[in-house]
Amino acid sequence: MNKVLPKRPYLLRAMHEWISESGNTPHVIVDAGNPDAEVPRAYIKEGKIVLNLSEGATQRLRLGNDEIEFDARFAGVIHHVRFPVGAVLGIYARETGEGMVFSEADLGPEPPTRPTQTEEGGTRRPQLKVVK
């Protein structure tokens, strides 16, 4: 059986590349309440922080499958920022507002579908017919 990978890191990297190549500035909205989020606490508003992920604003940016990390200046002070991909709520272009909001389904494999139940309560079997 093939391993089902989460979609979020791939969608995040694709949107980051698209926004950057379009000449815009990629920003992410991060759930700062995530216990694994290491972000500058002074810039958190309503439990969230907006971070500029442009090449000019970050150093050593790494958009991994499990976490995102980089160094950036906040009020002239360098901070190492790290947070799980699951803490990213969305990504957008600052100039246009275009982007993507992530759902819980983007974090992992989709649950298996349940078999259809017949009215008698039994499991419905596939019906095949021989065609001549």
Find how far residue 38's CA is from the centre of its chain.
17
Residue 113 confidence (pLDDT) above 90: no
pLDDT in tens, 27-60: 999 999 999 999 999 999 999 999 999 999 999 9
* pLDDT attached to residue 126: 63
Lowest mean pLDDT among 21-30, 39-48, 103-112: 103-112
* pLDDT attached to residue 112: 46
Domains and CATH numbers, the chain: 25-105 (2.30.30.220)
Residue 26 confidence (pLDDT) above 70: yes
* pLDDT attached to residue 110: 46
Residue 76 confidence (pLDDT) above 70: yes
- The per-residue pLDDT of the chain, averaged, comes to 86
130 or 65, which is more confident: 65
* pLDDT attached to residue 108: 55
